[in-house]
Amino acid sequence: MAVLLTGGAGFIGSHTCVELLNANEEVVILDNFSNSKPDVLDKIRTITGKNFRFYEVDLLDRDGVEKVFAENDIEAVIHFAGLKAVGESVQKPLEYYHNNITGTLILCDVMRKHNCKNIVFSSSATVYGSPKSVPIKEDFPLSTTNPYGSTKLMLEQILSDVFVSDNDWCVTLLRYFNPIGAHKSGLLGENPNGIPNNLMPYICQVADGRLEKLNVFGNDYPTHDGTGVRDYIHVVDLANGHLKALIHSRKEKGVHIFNLGTGVGYSVLDIVKAFEKANNVKVPYVIAPRRAGDIAECYADATKALEVLGWKTQYDIEQMCKDSWNFIVTNRK
């Protein structure tokens, strides 16, 4: 029995693949390389010394998805594949809804046809919108402010409705906060194409001299230093959260929702200072206007994942900064 990772060549998917292989799980990866690179596959094999089957398939290609299930005995799916840039989603809503929603509908239809009724879904803290308070619990109100976030919220609803229609399903919704860091080997990490949208890859490129300075998007938020506060979580901690969720799902039916965060909020300037100290580098910055759509504070109450999954994060912000930088230094051209 194998576990299918859609988008398994991506930043979070590849790190999750490593943790599953290390736990002696049988893994199949499906990916279309729209936001990842083929060399990741051999890096996973190098890190783990283990193999897995790979299919270059787009979820919109039903025949391709069907082939994966026809050729493998898939017991569960961890569903990472999807477009995920907030700003881009505002510019290209049709592409985001088609790719993320239609792709998932095809996946679930093929799963159902092959009697595979266990899905762990890559959701996001973005479904909480602008939270009424922090830390955020799983039962907080949900709202979204951009098409990317709306696809996540809609897919949570769709998957919940699938369980209502057939109580033999297990649906696990994992709401990520802000994943950063990289595998300690330096072989896997966050490698966005073009100018990074997210804070940590941008800081890395400034420290590496590829970008001149960091623009700090606003210092007039109601936070301890005026800059935005987020819950940064090491990608390997996040990957292990998926392994714990998979193990839990095998004993369960129903819809299960978990925040995957550290429960600690750091501001933009906290991160800049932590990165400079951890890596003995400078990160020049200027205060710039707020970015549209940003919220002041967002960090998790991760109690439920600890109580139900027995999962808690192991890596602190210093290690996250060191591992992010190690990936850059290790992969300089």
Question: Which sequence positions are flagged as catalytic?
Answer: 148
CA–CA distance, 220 with 269 (Å, rounded to integer): 13
36 to 12, 94, 134, 142, 189: CA distances (angstroms): 11, 22, 33, 30, 11
Beta carbon of residue 245, minimum distance to ligand WQD (angstroms, whole number): 17
137 and 259 Cβ atoms separated by less than 8 Å: yes
State which of residues 15, 79, 117, 230 lies at the interface with ligand WQD (CB under 6 A): 230
47 to 224, 232, 243, 313: CA distances (angstroms): 40, 24, 17, 21
Beta carbon of residue 112, minimum distance to ligand WQD (angstroms, whole number): 26
Per-residue string for binding with ligand WQD, 73-112, x by CB under 6 A? -----------x-x--------------------------
In the chain, the amino acid numbered 239 is A
Tokens of 61: 């290609």
Beta carbon of residue 31, minimum distance to ligand WQD (angstroms, whole number): 17
State which of residues 178, 240, 249, 326 lies at the interface with ligand WQD (CB under 6 A): 178
Question: Binding of ligand WQD at residue 126 (CB under 6 A)?
Answer: yes
State which of residues 199, 238, 305, 328 lies at the interface with ligand WQD (CB under 6 A): 199
Question: Binding of ligand WQD at residue 321 (CB under 6 A)?
Answer: no
Beta carbon of residue 315, minimum distance to ligand WQD (angstroms, whole number): 17
153 and 161 Cβ atoms separated by less than 8 Å: no
Q: Which residue, judged by CB position, is nearest to ligand WQD in the bound state?
A: 228
Question: Residue written as tokens 């490593």?
Answer: 18
Question: Binding of ligand WQD at residue 198 (CB under 6 A)?
Answer: yes
Closer Cβ to ligand WQD, 77 or 200, answer by number: 200
**Cis omega (within 30 of 0) on the bond before 38?**
no
Q: How many residues does the chain have?
A: 333
161: which residues sit within 8 A by CB, 6+ positions away? Answer: none
State which of residues 18, 268, 269, 302 lies at the interface with ligand WQD (CB under 6 A): 268
Closer Cβ to ligand WQD, 199 or 239, answer by number: 199
Question: Binding of ligand WQD at residue 151 (CB under 6 A)?
Answer: no
Element containing residue 28 per DSSP (H, E): strand 27-31
Residues that bind ligand WQD (CB under 6 A): 84, 86, 124, 126, 176, 178, 197-199, 202, 214-217, 228, 230, 268, 291, 294
